[in-house]
Structure formats: C-alpha cells, structure tokens
Amino acid sequence: MSIPKTHPRYVSLNIRDKIVDGVKKGITSIDGLIAHGRGEAFDYLLGEKTTNVAKKSIDSAAALLLLAKNPIISINGNSAALVSKELVQLSKTIPAKLEVNIFHSSKKRELKIKNHLIKNGAKEVLLPQNNCKIKYLDSNRKYVNKNGIYKADVVFVPLEDGDRTEVLIKNKKKVIVVDLNPLSRSAKKATIAIVDNIVRAIPLLIETIKNLKRYNLSKKQLEVIVKHHDNKRRLKESIKEINRNLV
Ligand code: ATP
Ligand code: MG
C-alpha cells in the first residue's frame, strides 16, 4: 500500500504496512499482528517518541552488550519484518551473533527469517537445534543453538514474551528486551527493559554503542553505567510518562 507522506499517521501506518508485508512474505506469524496492535496502543500513549527514560535504558543496554563475553541477538517474526537491516548492523557493531527464535513453531518460517536477514547483510544466522534446549521452558522457544543462545551470557531480545524472559534469567543469562508495554511481564522480568518502539530504539542503540566505543571506556566505567540501571524504577518512570500524557 502506498501511504501519502502528508498523512498525519504516515510513520505509524508505514510501520504497520511492514508488519503486514512480513505476514504476506511468511516471515511474521498472523499472531504477530495482534502483538503489534498492542504495541501501537502503548506507543500512542507514550507520544510515539523515545522518552528520556528509554534513552537512559538504551545507554545501560549498550554498556551491558559491550561487556558481554557471548552476546546474542534473538530474532522473531515481528523484529525481522520491522528492523532486519538494523539488527544486522547491531550485530556487526557489538559484535554479536544472530539467532532465530520464534514462538509459533515453523521450520519453514525460521528459514525464511534467516534468508531475510542474509538478504539484509547478515553473514551468519543461527537456527534452533532439536537436540539443544534451555531449561524450565515448555514452548517452542526452548529450542536454541548450542553456539548461540545456549552459551550466551547476554541475550538481546527485541519483543520477548514474559515467560521466556523469566526462564532465560533462571538459566543465568542477562536479558535486554525492547517492549512498548511497561506493564508486560517481559519488561518486569528483564535485566534491562527499553520501553520504546524497536524501530526507534535499535538505531539509537547502534549509535550509543558506537559512541561508547569511540570514548574507549574501561570495563569498570561500563560496569558503572550498567549498575546505574534500576529496572523497576525505570518502568515506573515510563508509566509516569504515560500518565503525564494522559492528563
Ligand atoms: P507478557 O506480559 O508475558 O510479557 P505480552 O503481553 O508482552 O506478554 P505479547 O502478545 O507477545 O505478550 O506482546 C508483545 C509485546 O510486544 C507487547 O507488550 C507489545 O507492547 C510489544 N510490541 C509490539 N510491537 C512492538 C514494537 N514495534 N516495539 C516494541 N514493542 C512492541
Ligand atoms: Mg511481553
């Protein structure tokens, strides 16, 4: 669909169009449309902008990703449809591996996501393996790659579901999520939750990592930035931001 640039909801409609296109291409599951709708509603309440709180969380996430020994970026159908190119760029900037991990089981869709990432510049994309599982999880997302999520110390999961965030933490991993809903279980359970739209947060995260690298910060300095992050407090601040917009 061609949306005129003058349309007051041009940006939002354009993003929606990308998700619909993802479904048509077989990258995004049809349920992904519902998840996107919930995201849109929260974005509306947040004023469709990156808040100052989100910027602080992005700083902490950037530092944590630079400190990681085995960072991994976990990709699902919605993030592949919206920010494939940016996630590939992020993986090169950190550097971190890319791994496909989807809720609604489909080998065909996993391969489509992988090929879509490769088309967008990825050199290597890991897929889940049938003989490799993380503990304490029943859904399809328990299957992981032994060289990827299985051995990762920090998992970056734009658009995570709450139970897997909890499980990854139980598996002794640090988890960074991007979630527009500050009330969601994923946001609450994450080590660092960035309450923002992935289409805005990922480019900003890439820039932040580049800046931290440019300043050549020591491990200690990066650790201070991470320590500064109090997830519960940041979520409260995000809710207050919504509240301010509402009144
Ligand atoms: P839980 O409470 O267990 O975390 P959930 O409500 O998050 O569950 P989903 O249906 O998987 O479960 O919701 C998807 C989440 O992704 C929603 O919280 C929604 O706000 C968020 N989301 C959707 N699109 C985007 C986007 N483009 N950027 C950031 N977050 C998004
Ligand atoms: Mg969630």
The verdict on the CB of residue 43 being under 6 Å from ligand 1 is no
Share of the chain above pLDDT 70, in %: 100
Ligand nearest to the CA of 139: 1
Helix-strand-coil percent breakdown of the chain, rounded to 5? Answer: 55, 10, 35
Q: What separation in Å is there between the alpha carbon of 218 and the centre of ligand 1?
A: 34
The closest ligand to the CA of 184 turns out to be 1
Do residues 189 and 181 make contact, with C-beta atoms less than 8 angstroms apart?
A: no
State which ligand 1 atom lies nearest to the alpha carbon of 183.
2
Ligand 1 centroid distance, CA of 187 (Å): 9
Non-local (6+) Cβ contacts of 108 within 8 A are 26
Across 147-165, average pLDDT:
91
Half-sphere exposure of 147 (CA within 13 A, CB side): 7
Q: Is the peptide bond before 8 cis (omega within 30 degrees of 0)?
A: no
Q: Looking at ligand 1, which atom is closest to the CA of residue 103? A: 11
- Tell me, what's the pLDDT at 137? 86
- Return the CATH class of domain 52-246: alpha beta
The answer, yes or no, to whether residue 122 has pLDDT greater than 90, is yes
Which ligand ends up closest to the CA of 160? 2
Which atom of ligand 1 is found nearest the CA of 189?
4
Q: What angle (nearest 5°) sits at the alpha carbon of residue 53, between those of residues 47 and 59?
A: 125
Distance CA 83, CA 104 (A): 20
Residue among 17, 180, 185, 231 whose CB has most ligand 1 atoms within 8 A, to mutate: 180
Domain ranges, ordered by start, for the chain: 52-246
Distance from residue 38's CA to the centre of ligand 1 (Å): 7
Core vs surface per residue 27-60: b (16+ CB within 10 A) or e:
bbbeebeebbeebbebbebbeeebbebbebbbbb
Q: Specify the pLDDT at position 1.
A: 66
Neighbour order of strands in the sheet with 154-158: 97-100, 71-75, 154-158, 174-178, 192-194
Q: What angle do CA 81, 63, 175 make, to 5 degrees?
A: 55
Question: How many A from CA of 116 to the centre of ligand 2?
Answer: 24
- Centre of ligand 2 from the C-alpha of residue 184, in Å: 5
Ligand 2 centre and the CA of 235: distance in Å?
Answer: 13
Residue 11, C-beta contacts closer than 8 angstroms, at least 6 positions apart: 48
Q: Which of 186, 200, 205 to mutate to test the pocket of ligand 1 (most atoms within 8 A of CB)?
A: 186
- Predicted TM-score (pTM) above 0.75: yes
pLDDT in tens, 178-215: 999 999 999 999 999 999 999 999 999 999 999 999 99
Confidence of residue 103 (pLDDT cuts 50, 70, 90): confident
> Is 182 a pocket residue for ligand 1 (Cβ < 6 Å)?
no
**pLDDT digits 0-9 by tens, 42-94:** 999 999 999 999 999 999 999 999 999 999 999 999 999 999 999 999 999 99
